[in-house]
Amino acid sequence: MTTSSVLITGASTGIGAVYADRFARRGHDLVLVARDKARLDALANRLRQQYGIAVDVLAADLTQTSDLVRVETRLRDDSRIATLINNAGIAQSGSFIEQTPVAIEQLIALNTTALTRLASAVAPRFVQTGKGSIVNISSVVGLAPEFGMSVYGATKAFVLFLSQGMSLELSPKGVYVQAVLPAGTYTEIWQRAGIDISTLSEMMQAGELVDAALVGFDRRELVTIPPLHNATRWDSLDATRQALLTDIRQAEAAERYKTA
């Protein structure tokens, strides 16, 4: 007997494929979503043979409305799916002024719109049953405008904020939401964005990233940052943010702005 099913986006390679392997190893059936059906089929066949689980392949381009709707429908209707891994995403190469309107639209469509809509599709069912998990893959780039990936970083900052807001709303209703923030990880996202990784510092392997993220998942961490070696840095940042909010008095401008 298997346990619940897990739907993973961007599952054909990299982080998504590792998540598929790890959840299959735990005995979960899978729904694998990505554009490349041939790769999905090859992965699905391997996982079926290796772990004896059921794997459904759902080829979809989540930047296309019709494909996105199909995945939303599966999440709403398939009561066996108890975990959503919102992993699909693309990166950005070049500066802000070098981005084309088409590239910006595609990046936002996949990294933010599709991710949000899929979470929104499954969350009501999870709330109704009082259980379920949503994992949103963000990035440390969302904390660092200094890295020069303005549009990509903004989408990942959105994912972190969304995850935190979802957690505040959904956690009391039995739904676990985790934001995972990788740093540089060896995946095909770099090649697809036209970024030469030979010029970058050494990065993390996808397997190590996912294994660490799953430790956070099992511990029910709200924000998991596998490459952050001093966890108190995040705790301090979040505490400072909350302290800042206590100093906001919305009815009156701060004294420093009352003198020209």
* Active-site amino acid positions: 152
What backbone torsions phi and psi does residue 63 show, to the nearest 5 degrees? -85, -5
Angle at 141 between CA 138 and CA 142, to 5 degrees: 60
Q: What share of the chain is helix, strand, coil (3-state, %, to 5)?
A: 55, 15, 30
Angle at 34 between CA 29 and CA 38, to 5 degrees: 90
101: tokens are 């309107």
Q: Which is nearest to 89 in space by CA: 124, 139, 130? A: 139
Q: Which is nearest to 47 in space by CA: 57, 55, 59? A: 55
- What are the start-end ranges of the H helices in the chain? 14-25, 37-51, 65-77, 101-108, 115-129, 150-170, 189-193, 206-219, 232-246
Contact 29, 55 (CB under 8 A): yes
Q: What's at 205, amino acid-wise?
A: Q
